[in-house]
Amino acid sequence: MVVTTSQRRAGLVSVGMVVFLCMTATAARAQIANIGLNPSTPGARAGSMGRTFIGIADDASASITNPAGLFSLSRPQVYAEFSSARIESDFSSGERTSGLSFFGLSAPIGGRTAVAFSRHEFFRFKDFGDQFLGVSYAGSVSVSAGPDLQVGVTISADTVTVPGTSSHTSIGAVIGGLWHPTDTLKVGLVGAIGSKHGDDIGFNNPNRLGGGVGFRPTSRVLVAADLVWIQSSKMLPFSGILDDTVETHAGLEFQAVTGDTALFLRAGAFTSSGDSFFEIQSVPSKSAAIGVGVSGRGRYQVDFGFLTANREIRLSAAFRF
């Protein structure tokens, strides 16, 4: 096969981009924000709480973050998220990319099962007009394993498209659990097997393992934190280049207005550890986040979030019926 100049350029940019993202991994179950790879935490609410959601997992975006949480949804729900980010690095022209980053449908079945279907853009990156895109189509099931314990699994078909070359599809999986030891405390655990694209595209979604807690000291305050290990050392098709990373997420939600229409104020932060022998300057390995949300009578919720890393904007809406 003859490789054209554009194909060669796209391949080199792809590899360089992946190297960059691995250097600056920010994973919450495994998010790598600084290059537009976000396989784990959609949603403006989670984003504005520092991407903390493993121990919360109480809307349809849980199908990606912690599928065990889907069981807590007592009504069918449709959920959509729009996001926009500007990625700047030595490997990027700094173009802003925007789009529908998540869409999901979830519904309870009987009293012990919930199911969901979702579309998630886990990877979006633009360089000199060329857009690199990763899209996941997934199905999820969550069941009650006891009065205080739920478990769930998501199976996804992940497609990565690199301009000028090809696209490749591989299977990924997420398994999660959510335990409610008290009415005010939830503890989540999640593990993921990332989709593999190394031979065709040049990188793999990383495996990851994470835990999180959500605690309500009062009825109007939610405090949450996640700790996640990401196997970034296996992201490239050759070994010895990258180190594994660990990410810490923390967030706070305060219900400022109660009643039929409730107003929520949120803030959070995340940071990652882990280096390689590559040295990239002026790249954030941590980020702050703020946001606001409005919900009405348990029927709808609209959330906005801003993250300082990549100046990312998120807007999401959930409707229950």
Q: Which of 221, 267, 228, 224 is nearest to 248 (CA)?
A: 228
Q: What is the pLDDT of residue 292?
A: 98
Q: What is the pLDDT of residue 19?
A: 37
Contact 182, 158 (CB under 8 A): no
Lowest mean per-residue pLDDT among 63-67, 108-112, 138-142, 203-207: 203-207
All structural domains of the chain, each given as residue ranges with its CATH number in brackets, are 5-320 (2.40.160.60)
Average pLDDT, the chain: 82
What are the beta bridge partners of residue 214?
Answer: 186, 224
User: What are the tokens at 66?
Assistant: 């912690």
More confident residue, 219 or 125: 219
pLDDT at 94 over 70: no
Mean pLDDT, residues 257-285: 73
> Using 50, 70 and 90 to split pLDDT, how confident is the model at 89?
low
Q: What is the pLDDT of residue 239?
A: 66
User: What are the tokens at 110?
Assistant: 């009987």
pLDDT digits (tens, 9 = 90+) for 287-319: 899 999 999 988 999 999 999 988 899 999 999
Name the residue type at position 174: V
The percent of residues above 90 in pLDDT, for the chain, comes to 55
pLDDT digits (tens, 9 = 90+) for 195-240: 988 777 777 888 999 999 999 999 999 999 999 998 888 877 766 6
Lowest mean per-residue pLDDT among 16-30, 35-49, 62-76, 242-256: 16-30
Please measure the distance between the N-terminal and C-terminal CA atoms of the chain and give it in whole angstroms. 53
Q: What is the pLDDT of residue 38?
A: 61
pLDDT digits (tens, 9 = 90+) for 39-71: 568 999 999 999 999 999 999 999 999 999 999
> Using 50, 70 and 90 to split pLDDT, how confident is the model at 92?
low
Secondary structure E strands in 162-203: 167-182, 185-193
Contact 292, 264 (CB under 8 A): yes
pLDDT at 167 over 70: yes
- Calculate ∠ Cα 215-315-29, nearest 5°: 50
More confident residue, 194 or 225: 225
pLDDT at 4 over 50: no
More confident residue, 73 or 279: 73
